[in-house]
Amino acid sequence: MNRVPTHPAPAPGILDIAAYVPGGSTVPAGVEPHKLSSNESPVGASPAARAALENVGDALQIYPDGSARALREAIGEVHGLNPDNIVCGNGSDDLLSLTATTYLKSGDEAVHTEHGFLYYPIVIRAAGATPVVAREVELTAHVDNILAAVTGRTRIVFLANPNNPTGTWLPISEVRRLQAGLPRDVLLVLDAAYAEYVRKNDYEAGIELVSSCPNVVMTRTFSKIHGLAALRIGWLYAPTHVVDALNRVRGPFNVNAAAQLAAAAAVRDRDHVARSVLHNEEWIGKVTDALRNIGLEIPASAGNFVLIRFGDETMCSAADAMLTERGYVLRRVAAYGLADCLRMTIGTQQVNEAVIAALEEFMGWS
Ligand code: PMP
C-alpha cells in the first residue's frame, strides 16, 4: 500500500545540504567585539558610497532598475568591460547560485576543490546535481586533479582564485591550462571575490579569459575590498550567451536600489580601493611574519585573510576560546576539513597587533 505523505518533501538532494554557517561575532558580555570571521573590510566603505545612500529614503516606494544599468556602466567604465556582458547580483552568492540553477540539472556533476568555498556544494546540490571534489596539493587547487575529476556528466567547474579559506591562488597560466583542458561544454566559473587584494605578478582575475573563451565566467564582489557587505552586491562578467541565459532566470529585481547606488560610487572611488589594498598589503605581511615567527604555519595568502594552522585541533580550540574571551572572533574552518585551523581576517592596525600579542602569549613567546 502506498504511504500517504504527511507533508511536502523538498526536492531530492536538498536535505543533504549542510546549511552555510556565517562567521560569528559573539563575545562575552562587557567585552568589545572585533569581528575577524567574515573577511570584511577594516577600512570600511568609501565616503562616496555612503554619500550616495543619503537620498535613497526619498524613493523607497519605487522598484530599483531591474537591469542595474547605471551600476553595470560604472563597472564597465572602471574595468574596461562592455556593460552588456555584466550581470549584477544580491552578493556574488546570488550569482553563483544563479549560475548553478541555470546550467545544472538532476544527474549532472559540478567540480570544486577540496577546500573550496563552501557555498559551491550548496548551490550544486540545490540545483539537483552532484558535487565532485578535486583534491588540492599543499592547500592549493591542482589543475590536473580538477581535470581528472571531470566526467561526461560535468557541467560546471567552480574555482575560487584566490581561494577562501586557504588564501592560496593559481597563476593565470594554470587557469589557462585548466580552461584549455576542459571540454567546451563545461562552464568554468572563476570566483575572484578577493581579486583586488592580490599582489602577485602571476595573477589575473580572468577578464581576458572570459573575453576570449565561450565557457568562462568571472564573479566579483563589493563585500570585500569595497566594504559594502551589508548591502549584498556582486557582479559577473560573462560571454553574451551566458548573460542571456542568466537574465532569463535571475530575480527581476535581484539588486536593491541602495546597493546599486552605493556600488556605482564605490567602484569609481579608486583612491579608496588603493588605500584598502595598501592597508591589506602592509598588514597581511606583518601578521604572516609575526605568526610564523612564533611557530605557527601560515600558508602564503593572496586575499585579505590568513589561515592559521595549529596542527592540532585541541590547541586550535583553545586558541579560539582565548581570543574570543578577549573579543577577537576568528573563524573555525572545520567544515572545510581544516579542524586544526583558524582563519583570521586582516583587521585594523590595533586589532592585528592585539591578536598577534595574544597568540604570542598563547604560544609561550611572551
Ligand atoms: N566567493 C568567495 C570565495 C567568498 O569568500 C565569498 C564571501 N565569503 C563569496 C564568494 C560571497 O561573497 P558575497 O556574496 O558577499 O559577494
The confidence score (pLDDT) of residue 3 equals 80
Spatial distance between the Cα atoms of 233 and 222, rounded to a whole number of angstroms: 6
pTM: 0.97
Q: For residue 34, report the phi and psi dihedrals to the nearest 5 degrees.
A: -125, 105
The pLDDT of residue 5 is 86
- Span from the CA of 39 to the centroid of ligand 1 (angstroms): 9
Indicate the burial class of 192 (C-beta count within 10 angstroms; 0-12, 13-18, 19 or more).
buried
Whether the CB of 160 sits within 6 Å of ligand 1: yes
Mutate which of 38, 96, 115, 119 for ligand 1? The one with the most ligand atoms within 8 Å of its CB, which is 119
- List of the chain residues with pLDDT < 50: none
Q: What single-letter amino acid sits at 258?
A: A
- Between strands 234-237 and 86-89, the pairing is antiparallel
Q: Report how far ligand 1's centroid is from the alpha carbon of 231 (Å).
A: 13
Is-contact 276 316, C-beta < 8 A? no
C-beta of 164 in contact with ligand 1 (< 6 A): yes
- Position in ligand 1 atom list of the atom nearest CA 233: 16
To test ligand 1's pocket by mutation, which of 20, 35, 40, 93 has the most ligand atoms within 8 angstroms of CB?
A: 93
Pocket lining: 234 vs ligand 1, CB cutoff 6 Å: yes
Q: What is the pLDDT of residue 96?
A: 98
Decide whether any atom of ligand 1 lies within 6 Å of the 174 Cβ: no
Matching residue, cell 548551490: 123
> Could you tell me the sign of the dihedral formed by the alpha carbons of 123, 126, 130, 135, in that order?
positive
Using the mean position of ligand 1's atoms as its centre, give its distance from the Cα of residue 95 in Å.
10
Other residues' Cβ atoms within 10 Å of the Cβ of residue 71? 27
Q: Is the CB of 93 under 6 A from ligand 1?
A: yes
Nearest Cα residue to atom 1 of ligand 1: 193
Please choose, from the candidates 269, 322, 363, the residue with its C-alpha nearest in 3D space to the C-alpha of residue 48.
269
Q: Could you tell me the distance, in angstroms and rounded to a whole number, from the CA of residue 365 to the centre of ligand 1?
A: 35
Q: Which of 66, 111, 35, 21 is nearest to 250 (CA)?
A: 66
Distance CA 114, CA 132 (A): 9
Q: Would you give the distance in Å from CA 324 to the centre of its chain?
A: 24
- Domains of the chain, earliest start first: 48-53+61-269 (3.40.640.10), 271-362 (3.90.1150.10)
The confidence score (pLDDT) of residue 25 equals 87
CA distances from 33 to 80, 99, 103, 302 (A): 40, 36, 41, 26
Compute, in angstroms, the gap from residue 347 CA to the centroid of ligand 1: 18
Backbone angles phi, psi at 60, to 5 degrees: -70, -15
- 356-361's contacts with Cβ under 8 Å and 24+ in sequence apart are 356/286, 356/287, 356/290, 356/291, 358/322, 358/323, 358/326, 358/328, 359/291, 359/294, 359/296, 359/308, 359/319, 359/323, 360/290, 360/294
Number of Cβ within a 10 Å radius of residue 275: 13
* C-alpha–C-alpha distance, residues 58 and 114, integer Å: 47
Ligand 1 pocket, 304 CB below 6 A? no
* pLDDT of 1: 63
The verdict on the CB of residue 91 being under 6 Å from ligand 1 is yes
Euclidean distance between CA atoms 306 and 126, whole angstroms: 30
Whether the link from the prior residue into 28 is cis, omega within 30° of 0, is no
